[in-house]
Structure 1
Amino acid sequence: MLDTIPRAVPEIALQAIQKLIRDGGYQAGDALPSQRDLAEQLGVSRASLREALSSLSALGLISVQPGKGVFVQTPSPTVRSAPQGFSWPYAEQVSAADTFQLRYVLEGFSAGQAAISLTAEDIDQLEANVAAMRQELRTGDFEAAARLDFEFHRRLLEASGNRAMLQIITASHDIFLESQKLPFIRPERAMETWQEHRKILRHLARHACGPAQKAMQEHIRNAASRTGILFPV
């Protein structure tokens, strides 16, 4: 259960380890300090450090070898190159930018409301969804990852209890699903979607309404940015 995860922010540890690798001159194959030393050096909990290492491992930046240590590795080549620009098939109906802005408003609110009402079983199902997305992204199946992405967001809309918002998303299923495919035109940043879903889920598991809403809004703004769309908030 994710409600047992400490409140320390593992993203801080992740960024600190990346900086350590970059500034420390570590090369592929080099061993990082032990996890105990890393936790002390970075000033984070062991649990937060383990989560950061898990994320870096999923991104292909390190290899965690039980009983041996943590080793820097060269990121694997991306599955495919990102195209210049993107194709948005619904331009005559609504722009991609407008779609992301609508999602920012609706889904940010729904995540905050869902944090209040989600049950332990709901959290388990969302956790399974996030784990499945990680696997699909690691194999480069972005179509499957996008469907899991849509399902994650749909579950939160259902849990929010606002039938009007759910109806809007359901009626425009194809448009919203397409917006969730768009960020994957940048395969080298695909794992960021998974990381952001995990962050949202941590707040949901603690029933933290405000932080869950903020994390969802950050996720949608970042997703738009990965597509090349920026909008004021």
Structure 2
Amino acid sequence: MALTDDAIQKIKSMIMDGRLKPGDRLPREADLSVQLGISRGSLREAVRALSMMRILDVRRGDGTYVTSLTPDVLLESMGFVIDLHQDSSVLDLFEVRRALEPLAAEKAALLMTDEDARDLLTLAEAIGPGSEVDDVVANDLEFHHRIAQASGNTVLCSLVDGVASRTRRARIWRGVTQESAFEQTRREHHAIATAITRRQPSIAAAWSLAHVAGIEEWLRRGSDEEDLTDATEHGDRPVREA
């Protein structure tokens, strides 16, 4: 493992110092092993590990390339880890959302264009008492994505998208079991969007915190984690009146 770690560090150094750039093809295995002073076996293990980390892209019959190295690509592995632990850590995911989304809302209030802010407000008002569950959840995900995107921080946006999309089942469960959940979501989204439109970063952040924390508190107070998982996985949704 020590030899493989050494090989990984040497390839990463080539990327960090610019010898390999995003999209570049790595030299032939035989040449690269000589260049780095490592065995071909260690080089293969290093390439395999770096491909799992989405730093390298192994294309069968073509060669090995450096990926785009954009945050969304590099954070794909984080999404995989979240998927593996989704059922047992939904409350942990909401804790992370509670930390990230107020920051995104604060930055959006400073950076979002006037047109995008107006569109965000329109999106917040697009759901109503007769909206279907899936439509409301899709609207919710899009709402938070636009705010994160407007933050101007690609890493923050990728993290918000990655975590928020994996709390979808909890959102659905809340929508079909908590009375007036959709109307509460609409009101809170409207308050966040209004603060962003008015360029009030601290207020946007405060409303965002209250919005996410409210869902988290509902889960902690009224839901057993195992029951939540069983019900959403098996599609046991109560009938909801329009």
Alignment of 1:176-187 (within 5 A): 176-187=167-178
Partner of 1:13: none
Q: Could you list the structure 1 runs, at least 4 aligned residues long, displaced by more than 6 angstroms after superposition.
A: none
The answer to whether the aligner puts 1:225 opposite 2:217 as a matched pair is yes
Q: Deviations over 1:178-202 (max 9, x none)?
A: 3433431334122111111111112
| Partner-residue secondary structure (3-state), 1:139 | coil
| Partner-residue secondary structure (3-state), 2:179 | helix
TM-score, length basis structure 1: 0.54
Counterpart of 1:120 (choices 114, 119, 122) is: 114
- Deviation for aligned residue 1:175: 0.7
Between Structure 1 and Structure 2, whose CA radius of gyration is higher? 2
- Deviation for aligned residue 1:225: 2.5
CA distance in 2, matches of 1:173, 1:105: 12
CA distance in 2, matches of 1:91, 1:224: 20
Q: Deviations over 1:16-41 (max 9, x none)?
A: xxxxxxxxxxxxxxxxxxxxxxxxxx
Over 3 Å counting, the alpha-carbon distance change for 1:218 and 1:120 in structure 2 is: same
CA distance in 2, matches of 1:188, 1:222: 14
Over 3 Å counting, the alpha-carbon distance change for 1:147 and 1:171 in structure 2 is: same
Over 3 Å counting, the alpha-carbon distance change for 1:185 and 1:127 in structure 2 is: same
Partner of 2:196: 204
The answer to whether the aligner puts 1:155 opposite 2:149 as a matched pair is no
Alignment of 1:1-233 (within 5 A): 92-93=85-86, 95-134=89-128, 138-171=129-162, 174-190=165-181, 191-229=183-221
- Deviation for aligned residue 1:168: 2.2
TM-score, length basis structure 2: 0.52
CA distance in 1, matches of 2:180, 2:220: 13
Q: Deviations over 1:96-129 (max 9, x none)?
A: 1111111011111000000001122112211221
Contact 1:100/1:179 (8 A) holds in 2: no
Q: Deviations over 1:29-74 (max 9, x none)?
A: xxxxxxxxxxxxxxxxxxxxxxxxxxxxxxxxxxxxxxxxxxxxxx
Partner of 1:28: none
Task: Say which is worse superposed, 123-132 or 182-191, in terms of deviation.
Answer: 182-191
| Partner-residue secondary structure (3-state), 2:199 | coil
Structural RMSD (CA): 2.4
Contact 1:193/1:223 (8 A) holds in 2: no
Over 3 Å counting, the alpha-carbon distance change for 1:168 and 1:131 in structure 2 is: same
CA distance in 1, matches of 2:133, 2:169: 12
CA distance in 2, matches of 1:200, 1:129: 12
Instruction: Tell me how many residue pairs correspond in the alignment.
Output: 139
CA distance in 1, matches of 2:115, 2:91: 34
- Deviation for aligned residue 1:142: 1.2
Over 3 Å counting, the alpha-carbon distance change for 1:106 and 1:182 in structure 2 is: farther
Contact 2:91/2:220 (8 A) holds in 1: no
